[in-house]
Amino acid sequence: MVVEPSNGLSRTARRQAQTRADLIQAAREIIAESGVEALRVSDVTTRADVAFGTFYNQFKTKDDIVEAVVAETIVGLAQSVEESPEFDDPADALVASTRAIVRTAYDDPPLASLLVKLEQAESRFERIIRPQAGALLERGVAQGCFVIDDLETTLTMSIAAAFEVIRGILDGRLGERADLVCAEMLLRMAGVTPKRAARYVLAAERIS
């Protein structure tokens, strides 16, 4: 992974950003090859070709870099929805982003397991997706698509629901359509009527 140069960053800041990216990529490779249990700070720094102490300039603990590995994937999924003209409607975007994130439990169980097994996993998940999830709800309210009286409470409940659905899929408690059910419930929490929410989800299911 290479961090693109930015005129807004100093040379030192660009170098630090590249170092962080190299460490995350090294951790991702080690986890993919040997599992998170085999992840050692010394192995990460060796693979990233940086000094051992450099790790602690970027991350406080091993869990922090694992969070960064997971966050990179989850944020990337959400961004791909944000950037697609196919999802200009905030309700469509909410369905697509919810499904993309929740479906990591189906499509990439090792990655989803990394997330739920982290110390303070729920708080870490919230930190990862809150900025984009909050912006999406705000956009929906501004466009008249969502009717939300208390944005912060709705956002907090939505994030918690998505996390628990991921955990439920991994535990085998939830079935193959859990991502669709979750998306429909989140639409309803955002003030979309039950009939409209069901139509949005049915349309998404037909094209998936």
Q: How far apart are CA 118 and CA 134, in angstroms?
A: 23
Please report the pLDDT score of residue 148 as a whole number: 98
Cβ atoms within 10 A of the Cβ of 28, count? Answer: 20
Q: What is the SS3 assignment for 180-200? A: HHHHHHHHHHCCCCHHHHHHH
What is the CATH code of the structural domain delimited by 10-59? Answer: 1.10.10.60
pLDDT at 7: 55
Q: Per-domain residue ranges for the chain?
A: 10-59, 63-205
List the chain residues with pLDDT less than 70: 1-8
**Could you say which of 3.20.20.70, 3.30.300.340, 1.10.357.10, 2.60.40.1150 is the CATH number of the domain covering 63-205?**
1.10.357.10
Residue 55 is predicted with a pLDDT of 96
Amino acid (one-letter) located at 107: D
How high is the pLDDT of residue 207? 83
